A = this chain, B = another copy of it.
Amino acid sequence: MKSPIPDYLHVVLENARPIEDGKPASYIDTLARADTSRLAVALATVDGKLYSAGDDQVEFSIQSISKAFVYAIAIEDAGLEKVLEKIGVEPSGDAFNQLSLERGTHRPMNPMINAGAITAHSLVISPTATAEERTDRILKIFSRLAGRQLHVDEEVYEAELKDADRNMGIGYMLKAAGILTCDPREAVKGYIRQCSINVNVRDLAMMAATLSNAGVHPITGESIIPQWSVRQVLSVMTTCGMYDAAGDWVSNIGIPAKSGVAGGIIGALPGQVGIAAFSPRLDDRGNSVRAVAMCQQLSRDMGLHMMDVSQIASSTVRTAVATIVAGQSDPHNANCNREVVIFSLRGAVRFAGAERLTRAVARELGVPDPQDPGSGAYIDACAVVFSFRDVFSLNQVSQRIIREDIYRLIADGKNVIVIDPSGVLKSDPERQGPHPCIVKTEAEARDQIGGVGCQAVFKADNW
């Protein structure tokens, strides 16, 4: 069988092809004479599968898309606190090349406008680094993100440098405002060089997917950007990535995104996919007309809108009860009957899942509630089993809640067995007193509960 996904991407591509609006960036000749028939789209999953269609090998300069990733590098090199001191996070409502300094602090409004991006560039390595050192570092990281060695387009770089008056102006203004501490010319030169790195849509999709995958490269597994930094980058892309159309983009497309003046756009949906699209013709706001159209179709077709609630989990907790038909019941607890209550969780458990589990435990094993017939039915169960066999992640709050559940049950005198083959439930070393019994398989769990003759416990579909 051949995967239908490439076919789908072709459909998306061909739907966008007839759009003839817009025109390529004209401020430098290299961009102005871009082949406007070029069209490409790519999609990378968080586990490393990359699909693409169209001119997916054609390279173009990354331009402003670099801003998102250099912001991440700045956060790593200078620390988030320092970065926030120098660059705000509010949408500016202005065009990308406006100075847009915040009243009072004189910070550029956000890292997605040029002023903020030049500042972010200056925070790479250290204020005393040269343009070359910074671009080297940026090029290396971009290459790791793309999964191949990238290069600066020297022709674009030279042309942009000749036309850099506005950015030079911004650089000097930032210096005067005390935001830049290095030579503004170095910062601007480095910034222009970072924008001149060549990529194709496959590179960009993989870079975006790394953001979607919490900073871990989907293929190499390398952790390139710390998770909390990714969160910051995606937040800023959400509110400021599409310049003065933040609200419009969020309500229509709903994916954290960033565009570049050479015609590229990336979108990164946390935990899902990275997408990239390319076509040189730009609209008035400097976003590629066809790339926007392709992103919009992908978002609608694929349900990628981050405010889309279609994936609501109806339940991820299963409760089962087994009776110990043979063997001994809990030798340590004479009060209990021979029932074992088994709670199984599945999937990626966050607060909602842990809360549901807690609710189930409290209902079955708590004091019966007259308002709720059936509650407290297993208050006398001889053992409680938690199975995390099908859980692939437990976030912090879930762990805290579930640990609390377990210790409360132990305090209630219950025998608690945890099946956790992949060790998703971290232990709390500071906790005093008796601990649950943690095992890797159901068989081990059975052994813990009660000796021989337990086959009858394992009716099909119970666990």
* A residues whose Cβ falls under 8 Å from a Cβ of B: 1-5, 7-8, 45-47, 49, 88-93, 99, 110, 165-166, 168-177, 184, 212-215, 227, 230-232, 234-236, 238-240, 244-248, 250-251, 254, 256, 270-273, 301-316, 346-352, 355-356, 358-359, 361-362, 365-366, 390, 392-393, 395-398, 400-401, 404-405, 408-409, 412
Closest 9 pairs (CB-CB, A-B): A169-B172, A166-B176, A169-B173, A214-B309, A89-B247, A311-B348, A165-B176, A235-B251, A4-B404
A314–B250 touching, CB < 8 Å? no
Given contacts A351-B272, A352-B273, A408-B1, contact A165 B169 (CB under 8 A): no
B272–A350 touching, CB < 8 Å? yes
Instruction: With both chains docked as a complex, state the minimum distance between the C-beta of A156 and any C-beta of chain B, in angstroms.
Output: 18
Query: Which one, B3, B303, B346, B405, contacts A4 given CB within 8 A?
Result: B405
B1–A365 touching, CB < 8 Å? yes
A-B contact pairs, 26 of them (CB 8 A): A1-B361, A3-B358, A8-B401, A47-B356, A49-B355, A49-B359, A88-B247, A90-B246, A90-B248, A91-B246, A165-B184, A166-B172, A169-B176, A214-B312, A227-B310, A230-B309, A234-B307, A235-B247, A235-B250, A235-B305, A239-B246, A239-B247, A270-B307, A272-B351, A303-B396, A303-B397
Contacts of A254 in B (CB 8 A): 231, 235
Contacts of A314 in B (CB 8 A): 47, 392-393
A393–B310 touching, CB < 8 Å? yes
Contacts of A250 in B (CB 8 A): 89, 235, 238-239
A313–B393 touching, CB < 8 Å? yes
Query: Which one, B1, B215, B309, contacts A213 given CB within 8 A?
Result: B309
Given contacts A47-B356, A393-B312, contact A351 B3 (CB under 8 A): no
Query: Which one, B88, B305, B358, contacts A231 given CB within 8 A?
Result: B305
Query: Which one, B89, B171, B313, contacts A271 given CB within 8 A?
Result: B313
Contacts of A165 in B (CB 8 A): 172-173, 175-176, 184
Give Cα A313–Cα B310 distance, bound, in whole angstroms: 17
B307–A235 touching, CB < 8 Å? yes
Given contacts A251-B232, A390-B346, contact A45 B355 (CB under 8 A): yes
Contacts of A271 in B (CB 8 A): 309, 311-313, 352
Instruction: With both chains docked as a complex, state the minimum distance between the C-beta of A345 and any C-beta of chain B, in angstroms.
Output: 11
A238–B358 touching, CB < 8 Å? no
B4–A358 touching, CB < 8 Å? yes
Contacts of A235 in B (CB 8 A): 247, 250-251, 254, 305, 307
Most buried by B among A45, A251, A256, A362: A251
Contacts of A347 in B (CB 8 A): 313, 316, 346-348
Give Cα A244–Cα B308 distance, bound, in whole angstroms: 25
Give Cα A310–Cα B350 distance, bound, in whole angstroms: 9
Give Cα A235–Cα B316 distance, bound, in whole angstroms: 27
Most buried by B among A171, A184, A355, A392: A355
Give Cα A256–Cα B238 distance, bound, in whole angstroms: 12
B312–A348 touching, CB < 8 Å? yes
Contacts of A308 in B (CB 8 A): 231, 270, 395
Contacts of A404 in B (CB 8 A): 4, 7
A173–B184 touching, CB < 8 Å? no
Given contacts A248-B89, A273-B351, contact A315 B47 (CB under 8 A): yes
Given contacts A176-B166, A313-B348, A390-B346, contact A362 B2 (CB under 8 A): yes
Instruction: With both chains docked as a complex, state the minimum distance between the C-beta of A444 and any C-beta of chain B, in angstroms.
Output: 14
Instruction: With both chains docked as a complex, state the minimum distance between the C-beta of A279 and any C-beta of chain B, in angstroms.
Output: 23
For residue A99, which residue of chain B has the nearest CB?
B99
